[in-house]
Structures are given as C-alpha cells and as structure tokens.
Amino acid sequence: AQSVTQLDSHVSVSEGTPVLLRCNYSSSYSPSLFWYVQHPNKGLQLLLKYTSAATLVKGINGFEAEFKKSETSFHLTKPSAHMSDAAEYFCVVSERGSQGNLIFGKGTKLSVKP
C-alpha cells in the first residue's frame, strides 16, 4: 500500500531565506511523486512531478525537489522565499502502471515573514 507523510504541518521562514518542506512516502511499486500548491480558498496547482527520469526535478516559481529512493523522500526546496510563496503545499504519491488512486499528504502551510 502507498502512503505519504508530510513531516511538518506548518513551516515559517523569513523572506529571502531558504524553504524546505519535507515529504516521505511509502510505495510497493515504482512511485510517481508530485508537489501541489494551494493558495487560500483556491484550487490546487501542480508545482512539479517526478515520474522516473532525473531525480532532481525543477518546477515552477523556482521550486525543486529531489527523489531519494534510499531515504523514501521527496523534499521540496527553494533557495529564497518570496512573500507570494505563502500557501499550503501538498505532497502526492501514485503508483505508476496501476489504476491506483492518488494519495495526498495532509499538507504543509508555509508562512513567509517580511
């Protein structure tokens, strides 16, 4: 069975400092992994995805994530936070080659202080 754990429910950073949002997954098969962002009272938008190619994945708005199979992790990073990055972020896992569901993490709320 697949599962995903976002290790922090809330992360607070200062503008211009690095962002790290942590995600660990569990999957019996080769996983696909995704990060989505949700601004308040809005839908979700895909930030980036890993499906089996390069383990370092670059996304929109300067975000990137690295797939580490040995650590079963897919942490999201950004070198320098901007006020507009304040939002909720969801890590998502699915099993490639299956008809399976997407499993969403519970979300990490990112606050950015001026």
Partner 1 sequence: DGGITQSPKYLFRKEGQNVTLSCEQNLNHDAMYWYRQDPGQGLRLIYYSQIVNDFQKGDIAEGYSVSREKKESFPLTVTSAQKNPTAFYLCASNNGQLNTGELFFGEGSRLTVL
| Least distance in angstroms from the C-beta of 7 to partner 1 | 14
**In angstroms, what is the minimal distance from the CB of 1 to partner 1?**
13
Binding mask of the shown chain, residues 51 to 70, with x at each position contacting partner 1 by CB under 8 A: x-------------------
Cβ nearer to partner 1, comparing 66 with 104: 104
Nearer to partner 1, 4 or 112 (CB): 4
| Least CB distance to partner 1 at residue 80 (A) | 27
Q: Residue 25, interface with partner 1 (CB under 8 A)?
A: no
Q: In the complex with partner 1, which residue's Cβ is closer, 51 or 72?
A: 51
Tell me how crowded residue 55 is: count the other CB atoms within 10 A of its CB: 12
Q: Which residues of 18-35 are buried (b: 16+ CB within 10 A; e: fewer)?
A: ebebbbbbebeeebbbbb
Q: Does 32 bind partner 1 (CB under 8 A)?
A: yes
